Chain A
């Protein structure tokens, strides 16, 4: 397609915390400094900066892109903030990718930050405005409704039980026990713990949900000729895809995320992938709720419809299984600072594919991984495929 090859050459992240003392600027700077140090670069080597962060309403800071710009190292450079709701964390690297692939820049920083703890009394309040102001908000909905409604429809359509789905939360929280930045890692958690946790909005219990968090993640992108000078282990972005479904969310099939399928097909085509189940070795799908991981695996065509929970039961999606899913611990385990959580998945693939994930390392020298995020009013899908070959 006449586009240049783009590699991830460095990554850094802060801890994911329920409440960080650092401001969003400070978190961004910490992650960015770490990412630059990881590939022995300085800000002078960077030509442009892409920033991802969720709605301004989260911390009541208008024009958050500008607010965070010093922490993101954006001063005096072409800088742009992108935002597609929860999908932002995987969209920002796509934006960085086309900055480099187009030939416009050789090196780009992608910074994703979120500070959800500022909203009082609870960050859920920031989400109330996602519903239509006239036809839905008059009913005083809260954010949990929309997930509970979707989860119930998904369970009913395929005859799944809460136990089937709770296994996903258990897997991810156990994986997260090995992540040094994780908020909710727990090596001993069981399905019973999830089922017995506080009921919020049936069928959603407390441990089915990822925690509100603060944190930041940064990656460094470089064009092929630069990447090869910076590192002997670049991880290449092989395919990207994104797609949007109707905003009238009550007018579509809630049991299947077709927008994720459209995004995945775009990325598979770009990466030349014909049989995703054989050619993708690690998957990091977006898992703000445990059923969403299943939902997304099906949309990514990596599981048959209604069969994704079986992957955990069969051990296929465990860290040492045939197709590890969320070996990082995902949002359920590591935490969910919205935009940063999506980019954490991209950073995890970078570390995994370089064999640098430490205790979380997936065995068998994986060669290709896929990260996906999802957001807006449950209708945007963003996908990035990365591999050790250009």
Chain B
């Protein structure tokens, strides 16, 4: 059939045809505004981010820890009802050096999006975020990274409360994978306080979660 047809329908246009007014067109702009409810699991995730913690959820049946947290386990369809605070460190699963914006304008210093496997989550379980404080040509898959947080008073319960992830510099070179994330000691001192404030954020969510699952069950 295609071998017998030499003229296929369709009239290609060029960008210039618009600029030179050779064709008529109608232009319009849409201004959509939305506010999305965070839901129960992601609500807890955001509250935890505000408190400086990356939160996952755990399925007791499948023994999986996922991030971001969710209310249902995709594998067994049972409730995923225990939240697990994860570490704010992880491993670069993959990355890109992006030199264009969404509307294809070029940018000079590339953005470095990455999938980061978060420590404490199941293998290959990560989140998408960006890398910083690193030269583009030094980024490697498998690199160890740590979250750089906004100052506590500026956090608003959003994924952007983490500014980016930066490489962890090993303190004991040649000592295998041993590493001390920056600020770890300071964290140790007021970790009790931190966990208490996190619990204050999570308690309402957990109650809702239990109620929901109670109804469902």
Binding site for B on A (CB under 8 A): 11, 13-22, 27, 30-31, 34, 38, 60, 120-122, 124-125, 128, 133-136, 138-145, 148-150, 152-153, 156, 180-181, 199-204, 214-215, 246, 248, 250-254, 351, 354, 356-361
A199 and B115 CA atoms in complex are apart in Å by 20
Mostly, the B contact residues are: loop
13 new A-B contacts, CB < 8 A, other than A38-B1, A139-B113, A141-B113, are: A17-B11, A21-B13, A30-B10, A31-B9, A128-B102, A135-B127, A139-B159, A144-B98, A149-B128, A200-B99, A204-B96, A351-B1, A357-B2
A13 and B36 CA atoms in complex are apart in Å by 41
- Closest CB of chain A to B111's CB: distance in Å? 8
A122 and B104 contacting across the interface, CB-CB below 8 Å:
yes
Closest to A143 in B: B102
Chain A residues lying within 8 Å of B128, measured Cβ to Cβ, are 136, 139, 141, 145, 149, 250
Q: Top 3 A-B pairs ranked by shortest CB distance? A: A358-B3, A148-B96, A15-B10
Given A34-B9, A125-B103, A357-B2, A138 and B36 contact (CB-CB distance below 8 Å) = no
Chain A residues lying within 8 Å of B96, measured Cβ to Cβ, are 144-145, 148-149, 152, 201-204
Question: How many B residues are at the interface, by size bracket?
Answer: 35 or more
- Closest CB of chain B to A380's CB: distance in Å? 15
Closest to B124 in A: A253
Chain A residues lying within 8 Å of B3, measured Cβ to Cβ, are 351, 356-359, 361
Chain B residues lying within 8 Å of A128, measured Cβ to Cβ, are 102
Chain A residues lying within 8 Å of B167, measured Cβ to Cβ, are none
Chain A residues lying within 8 Å of B9, measured Cβ to Cβ, are 14-15, 22, 27, 30-31, 34
A14 and B8 contacting across the interface, CB-CB below 8 Å:
yes
B95 and A201 contacting across the interface, CB-CB below 8 Å:
no
- The residue that A142 contacts in the complex, of B27, B36, B95, B101, with Cβ under 8 A, is B101
Chain A residues lying within 8 Å of B160, measured Cβ to Cβ, are 138-139
Given A153-B93, A180-B6, A20 and B126 contact (CB-CB distance below 8 Å) = no
Binding site for A on B (CB under 8 A): 1-6, 8-15, 23, 27-28, 30, 34, 36, 38, 42, 45-46, 66-68, 70, 74, 93-104, 110, 113-115, 124-130, 141, 158-160
A122 and B159 contacting across the interface, CB-CB below 8 Å:
no
12 pairs from A and B in contact (CB 8 Å cutoff): A11-B1, A15-B8, A19-B15, A60-B28, A122-B103, A125-B103, A139-B128, A144-B100, A148-B96, A149-B94, A152-B94, A153-B115
- Closest CB of chain A to B142's CB: distance in Å? 8
A248 and B95 contacting across the interface, CB-CB below 8 Å:
no
A357 and B67 CA atoms in complex are apart in Å by 49
- Closest CB of chain A to B36's CB: distance in Å? 5
A291 and B37 CA atoms in complex are apart in Å by 37
- Closest CB of chain B to A312's CB: distance in Å? 23
A142 and B42 contacting across the interface, CB-CB below 8 Å:
no
Chain B residues lying within 8 Å of A251, measured Cβ to Cβ, are 66-67, 124-126
Most buried by A among B9, B38, B114, B127: B9
B94 and A150 contacting across the interface, CB-CB below 8 Å:
yes
Chain B residues lying within 8 Å of A120, measured Cβ to Cβ, are 27
A135 and B4 CA atoms in complex are apart in Å by 52
A250 and B115 contacting across the interface, CB-CB below 8 Å:
yes
A215 and B10 contacting across the interface, CB-CB below 8 Å:
yes
B103 and A121 contacting across the interface, CB-CB below 8 Å:
yes
A254 and B113 CA atoms in complex are apart in Å by 15
A150 and B115 CA atoms in complex are apart in Å by 9
Given A20-B13, A60-B30, A251-B126, A133 and B36 contact (CB-CB distance below 8 Å) = yes
B99 and A21 contacting across the interface, CB-CB below 8 Å:
no
A144 and B28 CA atoms in complex are apart in Å by 26
- Closest CB of chain A to B128's CB: distance in Å? 5
Closest to A203 in B: B96
- Closest CB of chain A to B137's CB: distance in Å? 10
B2 and A20 contacting across the interface, CB-CB below 8 Å:
no
Chain A residues lying within 8 Å of B38, measured Cβ to Cβ, are 134
- Closest CB of chain A to B122's CB: distance in Å? 8
A140 and B130 CA atoms in complex are apart in Å by 10
A145 and B131 CA atoms in complex are apart in Å by 13
- Closest CB of chain A to B166's CB: distance in Å? 16
B126 and A19 contacting across the interface, CB-CB below 8 Å:
no
- The residue that B46 contacts in the complex, of A134, A136, A149, A250, with Cβ under 8 A, is A134
Chain B residues lying within 8 Å of A138, measured Cβ to Cβ, are 158-160
A248 and B42 CA atoms in complex are apart in Å by 13
B115 and A254 contacting across the interface, CB-CB below 8 Å:
yes
- Closest CB of chain B to A114's CB: distance in Å? 13
Closest to B67 in A: A251
A281 and B15 CA atoms in complex are apart in Å by 40
Chain A residues lying within 8 Å of B46, measured Cβ to Cβ, are 134
B1 and A152 contacting across the interface, CB-CB below 8 Å:
no
- Closest CB of chain B to A224's CB: distance in Å? 21
Chain A residues lying within 8 Å of B126, measured Cβ to Cβ, are 250-251
B159 and A136 contacting across the interface, CB-CB below 8 Å:
yes
A15 and B5 CA atoms in complex are apart in Å by 12
Chain A residues lying within 8 Å of B114, measured Cβ to Cβ, are 149
